[in-house]
Amino acid sequence: MNFDAMMQLIYRYMAMRAPTNGMRVAFYRKAGVEIGKNVFIGANVFLDVTWGHITIKDNVYINAFAKILAHSYIPNHPPKKDVGKVVIEQNVFIGLAAIILDGVTIGKNSSVGAGAIVLKNVPNNVMVAGNPATIKKIYDDAHE
Ligand SMILES: CC(C)(COP(=O)(O)OP(=O)(O)OC[C@H]1O[C@@H](n2cnc3c(N)ncnc32)[C@H](O)[C@@H]1OP(=O)(O)O)[C@@H](O)C(=O)NCCC(=O)NCCS
């Protein structure tokens, strides 16, 4: 493992365990996640920066234990690796322990329910939940 990869692992480890939001955001930025303004990242949130890229725009709230994956690697039957880009647009809420898979964009003003597993892009101004996550609600009052 090269030095940069080792530092990235250390920053990610520290980000997951840091006691304050400011520290978690700072460590995840150091690990390579693009994070906008006024972003909350809960304790034990896992942002996968091993491969791929994650962008989190302004005013995003990510609850504890959520996981955002930017790659998927299956070592057998047959081996397969997907590397993607995840974008969390402005004013998104992500519920406790939700999982967002590689290649997904969560649209502006949308919410992801607690425990959801999001496999596909989510449009603006909706709430998705469940496994696999589907649209449960459309927000009529969202501001563009
Ligand atoms: C995302 C969330 C805030 C949306 O709430 P909301 O907009 O008020 O949505 P509603 O409660 O009106 O639910 C709309 C529908 O989605 C369903 N739903 C809501 N949350 C769900 C979830 N997490 N998983 C599965 N279905 C869910 C509801 O049962 C409802 O279905 P119905 O229309 O068939 O009755 C809420 O679903 C949620 O997950 N909250 C978790 C908050 C959290 O993580 N807290 C951590 C500490 S702050």
Q: Is the confidence at residue 128, as pLDDT, over 90?
A: yes
Compute the distance from residue 95 Cα to the ligand 1 centre, in Å: 9
Catalytic residue at 53? no
Range of the domain at 117: 3-143
3, 140, 143 from 68: Cα distances, Å: 24, 27, 25
> What's the pLDDT tens digit per position in 57-96?
999 999 999 999 998 888 888 888 888 899 999 999 999 9
Domain count, the chain: 1
Compute the distance from residue 68 Cα to the ligand 1 centre, in Å: 19
Alpha-carbon gap, residue 38 to 26, rounded angstroms = 12
Determine how many CB atoms are found less than 10 A away from the CB of residue 96: 14
CATH number, position 13? 2.160.10.10
Q: Are strands 117-118 and 71-74 parallel, antiparallel or unpaired?
A: unpaired
Output the pTM of the full model. Answer: 0.94
